Amino acid sequence: MHSKYKKIEQVVSRLNMPSYRYEQILTSIFTQRISEYTQMYTLPKQLRCALANEMGNSVCLVRPVSVKAAKQAGKVLLALPDGNRTEAVALRYERGWESFCISSQCGCGFACRFCATGTIGLKRNLTAEEITDQLLYFYLNGHGLNSISFMGMGEALANPHIFDAITLLTDTRLFGLSQRRITISTIGIVPGIQKLTRHFPQVNLAFSLHSPFEEQRSELMPVNKKFPLYGVMNALDGHIQATGRKIFIAYTLLYHVNDSPNHAKAVANLLQSRGSWGRLYHVDLIPYNPTDKTTKEYTPSGRYRIRQFYEILKAEGISVTVRAQFGSDINAACGQLFGGE
CA distances for 273 relative to 230, 236, 269, 276, 313, angstroms: 11, 13, 6, 9, 14
CA 152, 155, 156, 160 dihedral sign is: negative
The catalytic residue among 101, 106, 115, 334 is 334
CA distances for 297 relative to 224, 254, 288, 332, angstroms: 21, 10, 12, 19
DSSP 134-167: HHHHHHHTT----EEEE-SSS-GGG-TTHHHHHH
Cβ neighbors of 226 (< 8 A, separation 6 or more) are none
Distance CA 72, CA 55 (A): 35
Residue 112 appears among annotated catalytic residues: no
Distance CA 253, CA 286 (A): 6
Distance CA 39, CA 20 (A): 18
User: Taking every pair of C-alpha atoms in the chain, what is the biggest distance, in angstroms?
Assistant: 69
Q: Let me know how long the chain is.
A: 341
The catalytic residue among 60, 87, 101, 130 is 87
Residue 219 appears among annotated catalytic residues: no
8 Å CB contact between 214 and 183: no
| Residues identified as active-site | 87, 334
